[in-house]
Amino acid sequence: MHGAAAPTLNRGHHKRRAGRTILPTIWFTIPALVVYLIIVIYPALSGAAYAFTDWSGVGEQLRFVGLENFRKVFTDAQSLAALRNAVALTIFIVFVQNGVGLVLALGVHSKIKSRNVLRTIFFAPAVVSPVVIAFLWKYLFDPRPEEGINAVLGFIGLDFLRQNWLGDPSIALWSIGIMIVWQLAGYSMVIFLAGLQGVPQELHEAASIDGAGGLRRFRSITLPLLAPAITICTLLSVIGGLKLFDQVFALTGGGPGYATETPSTVIYKEAFVYGNYGYSTAIALVLAVVVAAVALVQLKWLRGKEVEA
Amino acid sequence: MRTRYGLGSLLRELSMIVVAIIFLFPVYVLVSLSFKSAADINAGGLGLPQPVDTSNYPTAWESASIGAAFLNSLTITFGSILLLIVLGSLAAYYLARVSSNVSYGIYILFLVGIILPFQLALVPLYRMMYEAGLLGTYGSMIAFYTGLQLPFTVFLYTGFLRGVPREYGEAALVDGAGHMMSFVRVTFPMLRPITGTVIILNAVFIWNDFLTPLLYLSGSGKETLPVAIYAFVGQYTAEWGLVFASVILAAVPMLAVFLFLQRFVIKGFASGLKG
């Protein structure tokens, strides 16, 4: 590291004392690295190793069981349901949350007078704890006809749309999706807004003079320049969707049956309710591989579509 | 084509306001039910509370130990963020300034932590904390959040530092200040904008986090707000007036901070995530 001084300094005028270098030493990064290795990397690696054992957390007894845990992950009805639910819910969130977020952003990014108030309103739920939000929606999803959303549907004459929102296995997962869209569409909106503010007005003006209509301008100018924002939004919702825990745990606990089980709720139950630590970490390893693979593929694919303004 | 406020804008304004009203409906339900007595709620309907009953709030405050939970959340959030700023900015100072294989390798190792789902480390870390006798302490939570959020914090600081001219810090070095002194006096103050983002994003995440505090702190008396609310609602299920009063009390601190600092918060959320 010695002698690697920046070229901008005129060394002739300044004699450096022996042993002093212009570059910071590795000791600057050691404290952070140690904490990170102890809290994240070491437990994650040992988790990956425990996935091949029958560890139950009691004493030191554990046995290497090869791929047995993984065979169970891909044959057990509960974990299969969890993986299916996570994929379905993630796709729902990626499209609906970001779609609504984009519409809100386009609506707020205009000359309307209420834009600042609207932006505040739409974003506010994103700073509140998901568990707290879930208890609000637990009431809104009350199955009784005179409560929550069902009461509103009755009030506006749409009685036939009343549902057993969380009790009907074919609907419960989508109810959770609706709640997440309500909480996080404003988050997507904020990221899209930052992207829209980077779209030069001149491009719109030029295209408009050339006779391009609103829709055409949106498709040819706004959308391509929004690509970085789309990358961030979809990446965030994919990672968040696959790892989902808080909202499900507080709303349905994974039920009815396995209808809203997610990998994270199964990981929690297997470890902390049944003490199947080895099996629980096997599900976590599958989840980690899926999240990493999807995130990397998505990043590569979406990055290819980005253009410079 | 500087659009003026015409008929199009008016229509757009009205439709956005309609969307906002639909969006706010859950909030109306939340607030109105929190001011209703149990009997009033059982009578059904979503009308305004008549008469307004404020008794849910003191009951919820007492039974859910909101005050204590608020202080617990504050201690853990504050302690974690302080460590994240110190450790994160120091690490980034090295990672952004030194270009060597070692530096690059460490940077990549940190980036892995951004994508890695923490679920993989969940069970082993819980056992580690258990065996070290740290469950139920502030220290366990602060150590946890510091380790968990360091990758993202280091990533933000490193990206920002690469855009800060290195001449300033070096001039101080040449004037005889040590590296640490030069960093503290010259470089760190220049990191103020990204430190703001680091504080905002980590504060919202740590304040609202649920699973790990549920595992580490349940029954310890050091429960954070989400865990306290979860335990409270478990006891008072279906007493919606009480539940909603507790929900509002838990949400108000973060919402208040958001309203006061909203320009910074929105900017932090919008900009801090650019990779």
Reduced 3-state DSSP string for chain B: CCCCCCHHHHHHHHHHHHHHHHHHHHHHHHHHHHCCCHHHHHCCCCCCCCCCCCCHHHHHHHHCCHHHHHHHHHHHHHHHHHHHHHHHHHHHHHHHHCCCHHHHHHHHHHHHHHHCCCHHHHHHHHHHHHHCCCCCCHHHHHHHHHHHHHHHHHHHHHHHHCCCCCHHHHHHHHCCCCHHHHHHHHHHHHCHHHHHHHHHHHHHHHHHCCHHHHHHHCCCCCCCHHHHHHHHHHHCCCCHHHHHHHHHHHHHHHHHHHHHCHHHHHHHHHHCCCC
State residue B226's pLDDT score. Answer: 93
Calculate how close chain B gets to A106, using CA atoms only, in Å: 10
State residue A15's pLDDT score. Answer: 43
State residue B176's pLDDT score. Answer: 72
State residue B102's pLDDT score. Answer: 93
State residue A45's pLDDT score. Answer: 94
State residue A228's pLDDT score. Answer: 83
Q: Determine whether the interchain pair A39/B125 forms a contact, defined as Cβ–Cβ distance below 8 Å.
A: yes
State residue B70's pLDDT score. Answer: 92
Interchain contact A193–B (C-beta under 8 A): yes
- Cα(B157)–Cα(B88) distance, integer angstroms: 7
State residue A290's pLDDT score. Answer: 92
pLDDT tier for residue A21 given thresholds of 50, 70 and 90: low
- Cα(A118)–Cα(B21) distance, integer angstroms: 10
Interchain contact B263–A (C-beta under 8 A): no
Calculate how close chain A gets to B136, using CA atoms only, in Å: 16
State residue A5's pLDDT score. Answer: 39
Interchain contact B247–A (C-beta under 8 A): yes
Q: What is the ipTM of this complex?
A: 0.89
Interchain contact A289–B (C-beta under 8 A): no
Residues with pLDDT less than 70, chain B: 1-4, 271-275
State residue A208's pLDDT score. Answer: 76
pLDDT tier for residue A255 given thresholds of 50, 70 and 90: confident
**pLDDT tens digits, residue range A129-185?**
999 899 899 888 988 877 888 888 888 888 788 888 888 888 999 999 999 999 999
- Report yes or no: B85 and A9 within 8 Å, Cβ to Cβ: no
The contacts of residue B195 (CB under 8 Å, 6+ apart) are B85, B89
Calculate how close chain A gets to B249, using CA atoms only, in Å: 10
Query: How many CB pairs (< 8 A) connect A and B?
Result: 281
Tell me: pLDDT of A8 over 50: no
pLDDT tier for residue A58 given thresholds of 50, 70 and 90: low
Q: Which residues of chain A are within 8 Å of residue B125 when distances are taken between CB atoms? A: 39, 43
Closest residue of chain B to A105, computed from CA coordinates: B16
Calculate how close chain B gets to A168, using CA atoms only, in Å: 19
Average pLDDT over chain A, rounded to an integer: 85
- Cα(B103)–Cα(A192) distance, integer angstroms: 34
pLDDT tier for residue A7 given thresholds of 50, 70 and 90: very low
Interchain contact B43–A (C-beta under 8 A): no
Calculate how close chain B gets to A285, using CA atoms only, in Å: 6
- Best of A20, A28, A238, A287 to mutate (most B CBs within 10 Å, chain B): A28
Tell me: pLDDT of A10 over 50: no
Q: Determine whether the interchain pair B9/A245 forms a contact, defined as Cβ–Cβ distance below 8 Å.
A: no
State residue B241's pLDDT score. Answer: 86
What value does the mean pLDDT take over residues A256-285? Answer: 92
Interchain contact B104–A (C-beta under 8 A): no
Q: Which residues of chain B are within 8 Å of residue A208 when distances are taken between CB atoms? A: 1
B247 → closest Cβ in A1, A111, A135: A135
B119 → closest Cβ in A130, A152, A267: A267
Q: Is A129 exposed, middle or buried (0-12, 13-18, 19+ CB in 10 A)?
A: buried
Q: Which residues of chain B are within 8 Å of residue A280 when distances are taken between CB atoms? A: 123
State residue B180's pLDDT score. Answer: 83
Tell me: pLDDT of A113 over 90: no
What value does the mean pLDDT take over residues A200-228? Answer: 79
What value does the mean pLDDT take over residues A184-196? Answer: 90
Closest residue of chain A to B116, computed from CA coordinates: A288
Q: Determine whether the interchain pair A39/B1 forms a contact, defined as Cβ–Cβ distance below 8 Å.
A: no
Interchain contact B184–A (C-beta under 8 A): no
Q: How many residues make up chain B in this entry?
A: 275
Interchain contact A121–B (C-beta under 8 A): yes
Q: Which residues of chain A are within 8 Å of residue B173 when distances are taken between CB atoms? A: 20, 22
State residue A121's pLDDT score. Answer: 92
Question: Which range has the top average pLDDT, A190-199, A236-245, B82-91?
Answer: B82-91
Closest CA to B66 of B224, B194, B196, B261: B224
Q: Determine whether the interchain pair B121/A263 forms a contact, defined as Cβ–Cβ distance below 8 Å.
A: no
Q: Which residues of chain B are within 8 Å of residue A303 when distances are taken between CB atoms? A: none
